[in-house]
Chain A
């Protein structure tokens, strides 16, 4: 029986790897997800057959309850709310791993002599899992709007965080090296939960792609730690796959912002006080604003157009209107493409999911590196709710806080229409010289209304 269980775990591990591999192409991705789900199912079923398990009642209750909550939220969630959904699922995964480690601590520490390898992995599991748990809930709150999306800071924040880490370290060393003190263990649980809050709360909304990716990685590593704790390789394998995936995404996101991970996590970017360098007095500069009719003329009579979506499109839920506009323009013979910046939105690939929901064919979507050479010979660029990712200061102004960040070369196109509520600076808190460029047309209003109005005007042409 044990051999069968072990073999099934290996089968599940192989399916997890294959599933992730299949995820690398849109055509096979759905199958990949299904394979991973099957792998999970196999792992769960063989575990239930394990002789170590003697009571099933509460397991069944737990599974039914979890399935109902999970399935309902997965069905109800709107595509625009996907970042917070992924965030909160992450938190539950991390929480589960921490709880497994906690239960194991209570079991092992009863005969007072906790082997060193168990105590190390238990503490790692509790800390990583605990941080993931509360960190994800804070990320969820920020994305959902319960908590301010801008960085929340207080005096000596970094000092307090460092102190917490030191206390956790000291207590851990005591538990590992001397005795399994329950009080100290409770304090470690509490501090890791607190640290999760402090870790995410100073990070601003537009940096969420990095945070969500990192928490994703943590939830994997927490599962890994739980695997070491219960001495089960399938947890270690699946956990490290997720850990690796999250780390890669984190790296891609940081690179796309030209900032180090440490800078994203600890600098409370976007509070505004660091903007001084890049800001030039805007008072003497004028902007050219246009109405619906003019915008429709520019778009409708262009030969080529590139649409640049940003978080503003997601926030206004304008993706369906954008699809309608795209089809209308295509019907008039305009060559329409989409330029997607890697950190547009609140999580990696956010724009792609929204446009897919609105039925925009994914072959119209281009990554930054592929589309940048095309701006120079494009008639018009329509920017919807994006700002920092098109700010030429990242290229020209060495004093700007975003200098060096790869941007979409929108300013090279013949005309630029920017849909925006006001001239307020974007997340990084810096002015955008592109707004004052003579070829830029500001189209003021909420993304959804403006695009809908644009659609009806283009129809009249």
Chain B
């Protein structure tokens, strides 16, 4: 097995454990914002999309890449904004009451 792949699998397994550890503690009240925040993070695929589009050596890269950039950006920008909107509503009450 190539060494790089082995490294990546290590990173994958450890990150999964970190994810489980960090997230089990989230209270039910915040499940929706957590989900939409996590959802925005999954837009990290944008990095892959940028690399594909930017290497610009092929027509096909460009077409597939740009669509991927648009999709991922919708996910990232929309996801973080909508999460912020929701969390803003939660915050309001702590200051008012």
The reply to whether A216 and B42 contact each other, CB–CB distance below 8 Å, is: yes
Interface window among A33-41, A169-177, A447-455: A33-41
CB proximity of B8 to chain A, nearest CB, Å = 6
On whether A53 and B51 interact (CB within 8 A), knowing A62-B73, A74-B77, A74-B78, the answer reads: yes
The reply to whether A106 and B15 contact each other, CB–CB distance below 8 Å, is: no
Inter-chain contacts of A63 with B (CB < 8 A): 69, 73
Number of residue pairs across A and B with beta carbons under 8 Å?
385
Task: State which of A52, A67, A238, A363 has its C-beta within 8 Å of the C-beta of B44.
Answer: A238
On whether A67 and B77 interact (CB within 8 A), knowing A47-B47, A93-B71, A104-B52, the answer reads: yes
Task: State which of B2, B41, B48, B86 has its C-beta within 8 Å of the C-beta of A40.
Answer: B41
Task: State which of A67, A107, A229 has its C-beta within 8 Å of the C-beta of B61.
Answer: A107
For window 188-226 of A, CB contacts with B under 8 Å fall at 212-213, 216, 219-220, 222-224, 226
What does the 1/0 interface line of B68-82 toward A look like (CB < 8 Å)?
Answer: 111111111111111
The reply to whether B67 and A99 contact each other, CB–CB distance below 8 Å, is: yes
CB proximity of A92 to chain B, nearest CB, Å = 4
Inter-chain contacts of B16 with A (CB < 8 A): 240, 243-244
CB proximity of B96 to chain A, nearest CB, Å = 8
CB proximity of B68 to chain A, nearest CB, Å = 4
Interface window among A150-158, A340-348, A396-404: A340-348
CB proximity of B59 to chain A, nearest CB, Å = 10
The reply to whether B74 and A237 contact each other, CB–CB distance below 8 Å, is: no
CB proximity of B13 to chain A, nearest CB, Å = 8
Inter-chain contacts of A252 with B (CB < 8 A): 28, 31
Inter-chain contacts of B31 with A (CB < 8 A): 249, 252, 347-349, 352
Inter-chain contacts of A359 with B (CB < 8 A): 89, 92-93, 96
A47 vs B72: C-alpha distance in the bound complex, in angstroms? 14
Inter-chain contacts of B69 with A (CB < 8 A): 58-59, 62-63, 66, 96
On whether A89 and B91 interact (CB within 8 A), knowing A36-B40, A103-B68, A228-B8, the answer reads: no
**Which bracket fits the contact residues of A?**
35 or more
Q: A290 an interface residue at 8 Å Cβ cutoff?
A: no
A16 vs B27: C-alpha distance in the bound complex, in angstroms? 19
The reply to whether B61 and A23 contact each other, CB–CB distance below 8 Å, is: no
What does the 1/0 interface line of A99-141 toward B look like (CB < 8 Å)?
Answer: 1101110110000000101000000000000000000000000
CB proximity of A431 to chain B, nearest CB, Å = 29
For window 8-55 of A, CB contacts with B under 8 Å fall at 13, 16-17, 19-21, 23-27, 29-30, 32-34, 36-37, 40, 43-44, 47-48, 50, 52-55
The reply to whether B30 and A23 contact each other, CB–CB distance below 8 Å, is: yes
A236 vs B73: C-alpha distance in the bound complex, in angstroms? 18
On whether A237 and B11 interact (CB within 8 A), knowing A69-B78, A70-B77, A363-B97, the answer reads: yes
When C-beta atoms are compared, the residue in chain B nearest to A352 turns out to be B29
The reply to whether B65 and A99 contact each other, CB–CB distance below 8 Å, is: yes
Inter-chain contacts of A239 with B (CB < 8 A): 42, 44-45
Inter-chain contacts of A48 with B (CB < 8 A): 50, 54
Inter-chain contacts of A220 with B (CB < 8 A): 38, 41-42
Inter-chain contacts of A20 with B (CB < 8 A): 19, 22-23, 34, 37-38, 41
Task: State which of A52, A115, A244, A367 has its C-beta within 8 Å of the C-beta of B23.
Answer: A244
Task: State which of A34, A222, A244 has its C-beta within 8 Å of the C-beta of B45.
Answer: A222
A245 vs B48: C-alpha distance in the bound complex, in angstroms? 22
By CB atoms of chain B within 10 A, which of A27, A33, A350 has the most? A33
Q: A77 an interface residue at 8 Å Cβ cutoff?
A: yes
The reply to whether A86 and B41 contact each other, CB–CB distance below 8 Å, is: no
When C-beta atoms are compared, the residue in chain B nearest to A348 turns out to be B31
A29 vs B47: C-alpha distance in the bound complex, in angstroms? 25
Task: State which of B11, B29, B50 has its C-beta within 8 Å of the C-beta of A236.
Answer: B11
What does the 1/0 interface line of A62-89 toward B look like (CB < 8 Å)?
Answer: 1101110111011101010010011001
Q: A95 an interface residue at 8 Å Cβ cutoff?
A: yes
Inter-chain contacts of B47 with A (CB < 8 A): 43-44, 47, 230, 232, 234-235
Chain B contact residues, CB within 8 Å of chain A: 1-2, 4-5, 8, 11-12, 15-20, 22-56, 58, 60-62, 64-94, 96-97
Q: List 11 A-B contacts (CB under 8 A).
A: A52-B51, A53-B54, A58-B69, A89-B43, A96-B46, A96-B72, A106-B64, A227-B48, A233-B8, A352-B31, A363-B97
**Beyond known contacts A55-B56, A220-B41, A349-B29: 4 more, CB 8 A cutoff:** A17-B18, A82-B86, A237-B15, A244-B17
Considering the complex of A and B, which 3 residue pairs feature the smallest CB-CB distances, nearest first?
A66-B73, A244-B19, A53-B54
Chain A contact residues, CB within 8 Å of chain B: 13, 16-17, 19-21, 23-27, 29-30, 32-34, 36-37, 40, 43-44, 47-48, 50, 52-56, 58-59, 61-63, 65-67, 69-71, 73-75, 77, 79, 82, 85-86, 89-90, 92-97, 99-100, 102-104, 106-107, 115, 117, 212-213, 216, 219-220, 222-224, 226-249, 252, 340, 342, 347-350, 352-353, 356-357, 359-363, 365, 367
